[in-house]
Chains A and B, each alone.
Chain A
C-alpha cells in the first residue's frame, strides 16, 4: 500500500502565480481532507470531501482557494493568485468508509510563496 500520495513535495513560487497541489488518496477510501499547517494557526481543516462531494468547505480561506475531486482517486487544491501568507505545509488525508475517524495523512506539500 503506497499510502496517500501528494505532489509536489516542495513548491516555491512568486506572489501572484497559480499553485496546484495534488493528492491521490488510498484506494478504496471514500473521504478526503485537505489541511493547512502553519506555526501561527496550527493544523486547520480546509475542505472535506465524501464520495467526491464537498461536505464542508468552511475552512477555505477565501475565493483564491479552490478544491476539486473529479474522481475517487484524485484531488487538487488550487491557489490563484498566491500570496506570501499562503506559505504553509498542506496535507491531504483520506479515510475509509465506515463510522470511524481514522485518517491517513500524506507527507505534505511545503509551499513557499515569495
Chain B
C-alpha cells in the first residue's frame, strides 16, 4: 500500500527555535497534502492544506506566520514551526491524498518545546 513518511518522529527543541517537519509520499505523487495537530487525548484538528506549487490554505485560527508550509514537489511538504514555544508542543500528523477518497497518513511527529 501507499506509504507516507514523516521526519523526525520525535523532536525536542528549546523555546524560541524553529523546527522543520517533513512529510513525504513515498510511492505516489500528491498535489495535496494536509497537516493536522493533535493535543493529548484530543482529536485531530486540520491546520492547513498544502498545495504543490502554490500557497497553503490555513484553517481559521491557525497562524500562517507561525506554521510555515512549503510544498515544493509532488512528494514533499514541510511544516516549519517558527519561534516555537511550549504551547506548540503537540503531535503533528500529515496526510497525502492519492485520490479524493484515499488519503494516507504519516506516522506523526511528536514535538516537545522546553
A and B from one complex: no
Which A residues form the contact surface with B (CB < 8 A)? none
Which B residues form the contact surface with A (CB < 8 A)? none
